[in-house]
Structure 1
Amino acid sequence: MSILAGVLGADAGEIRLDGNQFEPATPRAAIAGGVVAIHQATDRAGVPGLTVADALLLDRFADGRAGIFVSRRSIRTEAETVARRAGFDLPLDDDFADIGAAERQLVAIARALSAKPKLLILDEPTASLSATEANRLFTILEDPAAGGLAIIYISHRTADLERLASRVIVLRGGRVVATRSRPVDFSVAIEAMIGRPVASVRPPARNGGAVRLQIRELRFFPDSRPIDLDIREGEVVALIGPLGSGKSRLLNILFGIETSHSGEVLLDGAPLRPPSPSDAIAGGVFLAGEDRKRSSFVPADWPGGTVAAAIAQPHLRRWFPAGFLVGRKERQAAEHGVSSLGIRTSSPFARLDTLSGGNQQKVVLARWQAEPARLLLLDEPFQGVDVGARTDIIAAIRAQDRVATLIATSDAEEAFEVADRVLLLDKTGLHATGDASTPSRGH
């Protein structure tokens, strides 16, 4: 993908686009040649301090098409046209830094389609999207594809591939290991992807122990529907719902990032109202945020941008109360996490940016398994994670029989794979979807 997009150069071989040799030296050259790539990390789809409308028109500013004189009104008008043609409703006046991962993804897609490419490359585009937004994306992509646009769609999600793919090519270790045309046997494709059989039967649902988390009449805003929820020790509960339904907000409230309008939350019978995340952590409430690069990691070039440092970071005060870091303690915690979660890394002190998305997510989970937890909150824990890593992460989550786990995910298939119960959260409240041990594709 990076070679096609002009980010990296090829070591050997050739690429032809419409029969002509294609060797883009830069991303701008690739776009000019008709190849537009949307990378999995969408934090660079815009610039903090500029609006969403500005982000939609960045390519025009960069290549001079916007002209010398522009006005805020003309920018917004053009941005509205770009968003409308893509079929997205975007907060055009918001600062790009303030929007979530799902909205950043929509910005990147709308901007890419506005370039009218010959070849569109998408890397895990639905990883942060709700089912509704994903279906809208599929509808948008099917129309250009029917009109002659070639699409390379990189994904580990079989539902995406079933919906869109004419052919499925499986890569592993830099080699093509399988090619399948419609109809595709996805069980065979997944086994080719990870190089080993995958058990098709999920663990049976558990009832858990004593009630650990109690939520009563919780309202986000004065006019919100109240939420009531109990989670038992050892139970895994997943929340699904459309973008903006409040899944992440609920986790943030429990972790002390946001506050609720009203209601009561009890943890082991005692009120849970952490004034800050540090207080939540001290009380055994841990959160793995939706965007791991923004919420869990420091930049790779900074001190602390390694596997061991990332695992130790939220526990530094407890582990080193005198203020002196002990490398041996960090190494031991990292080695345990690497071993228990199967993190593929050259060293416990390897830089995080050398790890794949799945292994980075395992580091986040290892961080919160390094200390005993009472309540574990996971926001989109499978975002940008391949099938093999997802299997390992699910096993690690379900192995914690003393922890109450609440997961927010936009993918119902993933929810049923990991959870004992799956609940739907939308503007009308919280609803049961049925026993997760007997999922249906229609949920």
Structure 2
Amino acid sequence: MPILDVQNISLAFGSTKALVHANLTIESGEVVALMGANGAGKSTLVKILSGLYSPDAGKVLWQGQEFAPKSPAEAAAKGIVTVHQSTDVVGIPGQTVADALLLNHFVDGRHPFFLSQKSVRKAASRVLSDAGFDLPLDKDFEDLSAADRQLLAIARALANDARLLILDEPTASLSSRESQRLYELIRGLKTRGISVLYISHRTADLAALADRVEILRGGRNVGSFKQPIDFDAAIETMIGRSLSSARPARRETFGRTVLELQNVRLVTGAKPFSLSVREGEVVAITGVLGAGKSRLLSSLFGLGTFADGNALLDGKRYAPDSPADAISSGVVMAAEDRHRSSFIHADWPGESIAAAISLPHLKKWYPSGFLFSDRETREGEDAIKRLAIKAQSASASVWSLSGGNQQKTVIARWEAEPSRLLLLDEPFQGVDVGARQDIIATIRRHCDRATLIATSDPEEAFEVADRVLVIEHHTILDNTLDADAPQLHKEHA
């Protein structure tokens, strides 16, 4: 008998059918991967299992009994725990890692009313030890990296006695080494009879972990693949069309140099390097987490400074004091964590697609301070058509969109006004194959600007870029990787 048995689940939001007679079974100790394009119904199914949505039809059996949780807490009490891709809700600023790890224990009374810092640290240390992770217990949650927040969320879920762990893009913010640790953890969970529902667009994750891949398209089951998984067939089944494996054609010529870095040191003690990017050129920088990719882009966007060296933009000295200064110079960036860096909070005004696109341009578009024109709406509607954003209108909330459509909205923001240099930090994080192709086509469409991309995934780098560079220990290596020789990257990753 499967531990989870989803039978003919359907759910519609108005005229939109999110799930249509969807089915899913998971055995004890089985890792099942759920694949599907953005908007295929994956998140809706997870929200039903988590108690956030109730289906219109069908039923869910948990350990043979009908199961209809009304909240995530009720689902967790039964042993179904979800770790979401966005980990902002795992803790709050001012809260230590130890406190965040034991938050559920404090709420449900598993710890006594009076606690000492020593006892909390001891209990938190035990939670981390059981999970196989190592995190600084006294560090403020606000100061944690995206990777550490992900590890914290998973450790806390395991401490909640999960029997089914639902992981949504768990390696999106993890380094190769941390991903391997997660793989080992999941394999250990299998031996203990704990099941995993694994949602990811990364085929490396699925090849390493999944016993079976189930595919949704348009809210329906369209395919099932067992190990060894034919990923070409799985991806074609997922998007409903043939997917060419050819990378974008290289441009034969490029325009004048837009960005030139001269003997730059990202941090004190690092080896200096130089770099240039030309009009129409897409350059990808790849390397492990912490190698310096994000630091380079952040410094170019005015969020930091170089330890040494010079930057030239269109031949002139470039040293922005702030993101506003960078934007005014024609340098724009889509940061790694779009939820924190690019969008207004869901409960505040200004969280629509149109508003998200217009946000950095308000002063230019409305110099008088009055939003009297319909430019926001026009830009939003144009972006929906141009980037194939799946939304009913420009007034739709960005928080109602799938990850790929959210990223398209961020890209559209910097399409609304001309720019000289586009910086993209992990642009395909949480983005499915179909949406990734749309974004790549948009990136490569421009011949009047330069594009610099940071990605930890070499496959993504070769798919989008004209040149691929490797960064190690905060310096870019001398060799340029050729698209026909991706094995060179593996030596450095």
TM range (shorter): over 0.9
Mapped pair 1:219 → 2:265: yes
User: Offset at 1:441?
Assistant: 9.3
Partner of 2:238: 193
* Structure 1 match to 2:327: 281
In structure 2, C-alpha distance between the alignment counterparts of 1:120 and 1:213, rounded to whole Å: 45
Distance 2:116 2:235 in 1: 50
Q: Are 1:292 and 2:338 matched, yes or no?
A: yes
Does the alignment pair 1:403 with 2:445?
no
Q: Does the 8 A contact of 1:333 with 1:370 survive in 2?
A: yes
Higher deviation after alignment, 356-365 or 242-251: 242-251
Asked if residue 435 in structure 1 is aligned to residue 482 in structure 2, the reply is yes
Unpaired stretches in structure 1, ≥5 consecutive residues: none
Indicate the residue corresponding to 2:72 in structure 1: 27
Output the CA distance in 1 between the equivalents of 2:292 and 2:134: 18
Per-residue CA deviation, residues 373-405 of structure 1 (Å, 9 max, x unaligned), is 111011111111111111101111111122111
Partner of 2:302: 256
- The two structures, once aligned, show a CA RMSD in angstroms of 1.9
| 1:122 CA drift (Å) | 0.6
Q: Is residue 130–residue 241 contact of structure 1 (8 Å, CA) maintained in 2? A: no
- The one-letter code matched in structure 2 to 1:260 is F
Where does residue 49 of structure 2 map in the other structure?
4
Instruction: Check if 1:105 corresponds to 2:154.
Output: no
Trace 1:289-438 onto structure 2 (pairs within 5 A). 289-427=335-473, 429-431=475-477, 432=479, 434-436=481-483, 438=485
Separation (CA, whole Å) in 2 of partners of 1:106 and 1:145: 18
Matched residue SS, 1:222 = coil
Q: Do the aligned residues in 2 keep the contact of 1:211 with 1:231 (CA within 8 Å)?
A: yes
Could you tell me which amino acid in structure 1 is paired with residue 378 of structure 2? Q
Q: Is 1:82 the counterpart of 2:127 in the alignment?
A: yes
* Contact map agreement 2:165 2:195 (CA 8 A) in 1: yes
Going by fraction, where is strand more abundant, 1 or 2? 2
TM-score, reference length from structure 2? 0.86
Task: Return closer, same or farther for 1:372/1:10 CA change in 2, 3 Å cut-off.
Answer: same
28-37 vs 377-386, which deviates more? Answer: 28-37
Task: Find out whether 1:159 has 2:168 as its counterpart.
Answer: no
Rounded Cα–Cα distance in structure 2 between residues aligned with 1:99 and 1:401? 38
Aligned to 2:15: none
1:124-273 to structure 2, matched below 5 A, reads 124-206=169-251, 208-273=254-319
**Equivalent in the alignment of 2:16:** none
1:16-55 matches, cutoff 5 A:
16-55=61-100
Structure 1's 428 and 369: CA in aligned 2 closer, same or farther, altered over 3 A? closer
Number of equivalent positions: 443
Find the residue that maps to 1:369 and give its secondary structure: coil
* Equivalent-residue separation in structure 1 for 2:407 and 2:77 (angstroms): 35
Compute the displacement of 1:315 (Å). 1.0
- Secondary structure of 2:414's partner? helix
Q: Give CA deviations for 1:87-132 in whole Å, capped at 9, x if unaligned.
A: 3332332221232322211111121223342111111111222222
TM-score by length of 1: 0.95
Moved over 4 A (4+): none
- Counterpart for residue 122 of structure 1: 167
One-letter amino acid matched to 1:155:
S
Are the counterparts in 2 of residues 311 and 363 from structure 1 also a CA contact under 8 Å? yes
Does the CA-based 8 Å contact 2:265-2:475 persist in structure 1?
no
Label 1:81 to 1:215 Cα distance change in 2 as closer, same or farther (>3 A). Answer: farther
3-state SS of 2:447 partner: coil
Judging changes above 3 Å, is the alpha-carbon distance between structure 1 residues 116 and 433 closer, same or farther for their aligned structure 2 residues? farther
Give the whole-Å Cα distance in 2 for the aligned partners of 1:18 and 1:415.
43
> Residues 326-383 of structure 1, C-alpha deviation per residue, up to 9 Å, x if partnerless?
3321122222212211111111121112211111110100000111111101111111
Give 2:174's aligned amino acid. L
Give the share of equivalent positions with the same residue, in percent: 54
Q: 1:415, 1:285 → 2: CA distance? A: 21
What are the superposed Cα offsets for residues 245-287 of structure 1, whole Å, 9 maximum, x if unpaired? 2211111110111122222111111111111111110110001
Alignment partner of 1:145: what SS? Answer: helix
Query: Is the 8 Å Cα contact of residues 60 and 66 (structure 1) preserved in structure 2?
Result: yes
Matches of 2:274 and 2:120 in 1, distance apart? 44
**Could you tell me which of 62, 69, 73 is aligned with 2:118?**
73
Contact 2:291 2:474 in 1 (8 A): no
* Letter of the 2:332 counterpart: F
Equivalent AA in structure 2 for residue 204 of structure 1: A
